[in-house]
Chains A and B, each alone.
Chain A
Amino acid sequence: DARVTQTPRHKVTEMGQEVTMRCQPILGHNTVFWYRQTMMQGLELLAYFRNRAPLDDSGMPKDRFSAEMPDATLATLKIQPSEPRDSAVYFCASGWDLEQYFGPGTRLTVT
């Protein structure tokens, strides 16, 4: 049963530190998405890739967030420097033709 995996599952860090979140999409899927979920904002799309090419990252704070897909088995989301307002659950999802399969998420707490 293929699944999207994400690491780490939980991360606690101090403000100003760099945070890197990793995602392994389901093999064969051609789109990868990064979402952020908070109680106040719901599900926000941060960035997405198709065939590893970034298509839209307009949802990301450009000065501190970056998303890359160095190969078909790895997508990364970096925050540098992190701030307390970045505390949220970050989901990666992969898919084919709009149907999306979510990973378990990384719960980030920035103190």
Chain B
Amino acid sequence: GQQVMQIPQYQHVQEGEDFTTYCNSSTTLSNIQWYKQRPGGHPVFLIQLVKSGEVKKQKRLTFQFGEAKKNSSLHITATQTTDVGTYFCAGPKSNYQLIWGAGTKLIIKP
């Protein structure tokens, strides 16, 4: 069946270092979404990518959608404590349902 794999599961960084999470789908996706969940919070929609090869930026966050529309990445430049949380990718499973990656937890080393 359709799968969305996300790596790594965890990433420990020093504050100020960069962070990247990767998302790979077993099937071509019409679009991909990214969500952030702070510790103790709920997933919050960040962005949706639709076009092949699309790159979008939100301040220090850069989102990419692969040319084949089967992979995506989220890169955070110069992490801050406010970036801590779990980042999820999700792609359409049907017209109304998403299939979710397992998430990448960003941990800032003390």
A interface, CB within 8 angstroms of B: 31, 42-43, 45, 48, 50, 55-56, 91, 93, 98-105
Contacts and interface: CB of A to CB of B under 8 A. Distances in A.
A50 B95 CA distance: 10
Contact of A48 (B33, B92, B97, B102): B97
Contacts of B10: none
Contacts of B43: 43, 91, 93, 100, 102
B100 interface: yes
Contacts of B92: 98
B88 interface: yes
A102 B96 contact: no
B33 A99 contact: yes
Given A48-B96, A98-B31, A98-B96, A103 B42 contact: yes
A105 B38 CA distance: 13
Interface residues of B, number: 18
A45 B99 CA distance: 9
Interface of B: 31, 33, 35, 41-45, 48, 88, 92, 95-98, 100, 102-103
Contact of B100 (A31, A43, A98, A101): A43
Contacts of B31: 98
Contacts of A98: 31, 33, 48, 92, 95-96, 98
Nearest to A99: B45
A48 B92 CA distance: 14
A43 B96 contact: no
A91 to B, nearest CB: 6
A63 to B, nearest CB: 23
Given A42-B102, A42-B103, A43-B88, A102 B97 contact: no
A4 to B, nearest CB: 9
A105 B40 CA distance: 10
A36 to B, nearest CB: 12
Contacts of B35: 100
Given A45-B97, A50-B96, A102 B44 contact: yes
